[in-house]
Amino acid sequence: MTFLNYLINGISLGSVYAIIALGYTMVYGIAKMLNFAHGDVIMVGAYISFIITSKMGLPAIVSVLAAVVVCTLLGIFIERLAYKPLRNATSLAVLITAIGVSYFLQNSALLIWGSDPKSFNSIVDFDSIKLFDGQLVITAEAIVTVCACIIIMIALTIFTGHTKMGKAMRAVSEDKGAAQLMGINVNSTISMTFAIGSALAAIAGVLLCSAYPTLLPTTGSMPGIKAFTAAVFGGIGSIPGAMIGGILLGVIEVFASAYISDKLSNAIVFGVLIIVLLVKPTGLLGRKINEKV
């Protein structure tokens, strides 16, 4: 029964990773950049939600919506200001700029909200489900997180597969130049991708802090790196890959800390990633790309 408990915890944590990884993977697929500031957008989302529920006393759903709106705007703003001018620069230049943006968000948060940890109130207010005389506990947060993850995954699959904007996104990620020639507005498509990715980050931030209620300006960075790992794990650029990668990563992390060593869990997670990449160099669902000679 403890095994099942751990499994549920793992899937719940993994769902958060998956939601963040979805944002990472979409942005990577379309802009071919590692957006290291993505993790910090999560943190901003969590702070917004925190302020609205704890300080202003408004209902949770309002706080989530506000977080999504703010992060979406923030995402578009960051893209326009910092990444758009570098559309044709080297990927390393964009990476360093993203790191600059990450520092900027962390330090702005530090100035605005201070360095003391905030204790986040869960946005979920119904009780945990207890099965088998309380031996198996499924927390309300876990249920909400997993449901949110599934809904997002389905919505994104439909969006990229069947809507005009989604098709434009896929076209831009294949070949920017060709997409432009076909009349697709590349700039607005990329903005849209950042908007969606950042909105997902906001949701992930709220869910993450509902399950792990300590909120700091650096809260987003480790989950950000882990989610990035998850995206690579599943095959970066692939939406189902990000989902599978995220959930597997969460499960591995929880099992590793439960059964092997709490302190070594991160090492084990990253170790598994390395093994996966050695066996499948482009991740679980990644496509192999050959260089033309």
Partner 1 sequence: MKKWKALSPQTRSDFITYGIVIAAFIVLRLLSAFGMLSNSLTGLLVPLCAYIIMAVSLNLTVGVLGELSLGHAGFMSVGAFSGVIACAGMESFIPNPIIRLLIAVVIGGVLAGITGFLIGIPVLRLRGDYLAIVTLAFGEIIKNIINCLYIGIDGAGLHISLVSSAELGLNSGRVVINGPVGAVGVQKISTFTFSFVLVMITLIVVLNIMRSRTGRAIMAVRDNRIAAESVGISITKYKMIAFITSAVLAGAAGVLFAMNYTSLSSSKFDFNQSILILVFVVLGGLGNIRGSIIATVILYLLPEILRPIQDYRMLIYSIVLIIVMLTTNSEKAKLYIGKIKARLTKKNAKGGEQGE
Contact call for residue 65 and partner 1 (CB under 8 A): no
Contact call for residue 134 and partner 1 (CB under 8 A): no
Helix, strand, or coil here: 271? helix
Contact call for residue 158 and partner 1 (CB under 8 A): no
Q: Contacting partner 1 (CB under 8 A), which of 2, 59, 62, 85? A: 85
Query: By C-alpha distance, which of 170, 172, 173 is closest to 185?
Result: 172
Q: Contacting partner 1 (CB under 8 A), which of 103, 154, 175, 287? A: 103
From start to end of the chain, where are the E strands? Answer: 118-119, 129-131, 136-138, 214-215
For partner 1, give the closer residue by CB, 111 or 151.
111
Least separation in angstroms between CB 104 and partner 1: 4
Q: Contacting partner 1 (CB under 8 A), which of 60, 65, 76, 96? A: 96
* Long-range contacts formed by 268-272: CB under 8 A, 24+ apart: 269/226, 269/229, 270/229
Binding mask 14-53 for partner 1 (x = CB under 8 A): --------------x-----x-x-----------------
For partner 1, give the closer residue by CB, 49 or 97.
97
Contact call for residue 225 and partner 1 (CB under 8 A): yes
Alpha helices in 131-238 (DSSP H): 140-162, 164-174, 176-181, 186-211, 221-234
The string over 136-158, giving b where at least 16 C-beta atoms fall within 10 Å of a residue's C-beta and e elsewhere, is ebbbbbbbbbbebbeebbeebee
Cα–Cα distance, 182 to 134 (Å, whole number): 59
Q: Contacting partner 1 (CB under 8 A), which of 59, 100, 117, 161? A: 100
For partner 1, give the closer residue by CB, 206 or 232.
232
Given the structure tokens 């590793």, which residue do they identify? 256
Choose the stretch contacting partner 1; rule: CB under 8 A; options: 17-25, 90-98, 122-130, 168-176.
Answer: 90-98
Contact call for residue 89 and partner 1 (CB under 8 A): yes
Least separation in angstroms between CB 111 and partner 1: 6
Q: Contacting partner 1 (CB under 8 A), which of 9, 12, 210, 229? A: 229
Query: By C-alpha distance, which of 238, 212, 198, 270 is closest to 39?
Result: 198
- Do 236 and 29 contact (CB within 8 A), yes or no? yes
Which residues contact residue 208 at a Cβ distance below 8 angstroms, ignoring those fewer than 6 apart?
A: 16, 42, 46, 219, 223
Q: Contacting partner 1 (CB under 8 A), which of 127, 278, 288, 290? A: 278
Which parts of this chain interact with partner 1 (CB under 8 A)? 28, 34, 36, 82, 85-93, 95-97, 99-104, 106-108, 110-111, 225, 228-229, 232, 236, 261, 263-264, 266-267, 270-271, 273-274, 277-278, 281-283, 291, 293
